[in-house]
């Protein structure tokens, strides 16, 4: 009985320590976090200028964007994403604000979670960034509305 308790305690301790090691291994350097924050600022600026073409350049050519509210939808490729923003901007949407919450390295890619507000709406973005021509571009964007 005592052996079983010790094994359970050791297993529990290992389960608490492993996530800490994983976080350290995948931790993003402060400079890299600043680069992703700069990419978010470009997104926010282009959105608030209602510039669909500038928005599209923030995504890779093969990017996918998924929205989970209203009619929602999935947009594949830079052109489809630009068209979506052009239609959205035609209604003069309210100011968009975004704040970076978490950043993780996944090999040579970056996973970022951010919180956004857009007028009376709020939600989160989960994005995968890749390096293209010296810039961080969005390859996958999942936008969730609260």
Q: Which residues contact 98 (CB under 8 A, 6 or more apart)?
A: 40, 43, 44, 114, 115, 116, 125
User: Is 121 a member of any domain?
Assistant: yes
Domain at 115, CATH number: 3.10.450.50
State the Cα angle at 42 between 69 and 31, rounded to 5°: 110
Contacts of 81 (CB under 8 A, 6+ apart): 55, 56, 59, 63, 65, 75
| Per-residue pLDDT tens listing for the chain (146 residues) | 444 443 333 344 445 444 544 444 456 789 999 999 999 999 999 999 999 999 999 999 999 999 987 666 899 999 999 999 999 899 988 999 999 999 999 999 999 999 999 989 999 999 999 999 999 999 999 999 88
DSSP tag of 29: P
Residue 15: inside a domain, yes or no?
no
Whether residue 3 lies inside any domain: the answer is no
What confidence score (pLDDT) does residue 146 get?
87
Q: With beta carbons less than 8 A apart as the criterion, state whether 102 and 113 touch.
A: yes
Range of the domain at 63: 27-145
What's the whole-model pTM score? 0.80
Q: Count structural domains, the chain.
A: 1
139 domain residue, yes or no = yes
Are 60 and 79 in contact by the 8 Å Cβ rule? The answer is no
Rounded distance between C-alpha atoms, residue 23 and residue 125, angstroms: 20
């Amino acid at each position: 009985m005592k052996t079983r308790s010790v094994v359970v305690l050791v297993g529990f301790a290992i389960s608490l320590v492993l996530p800490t090691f994983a976080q350290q291994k995948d931790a993003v350097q402060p400079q890299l976090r600043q680069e992703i924050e700069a990419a978010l600022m470009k997104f926010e600026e282009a959105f608030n200028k209602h510039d669909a073409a500038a928005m599209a350049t923030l995504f890779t050519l093969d990017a996918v964007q998924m929205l989970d509210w209203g009619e929602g939808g999935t947009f594949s490729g830079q052109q489809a994403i630009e068209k979506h923003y052009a239609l959205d901007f035609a209604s003069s949407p309210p100011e968009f604000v975004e704040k970076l919450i978490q950043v993780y390295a996944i090999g040579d890619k970056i996973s970022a979670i951010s919180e956004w507000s857009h007028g009376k709406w709020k939600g989160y973005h989960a994005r995968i960034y890749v390096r293209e021509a010296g810039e961080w571009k969005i390859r996958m964007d999942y936008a969730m509305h609260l």
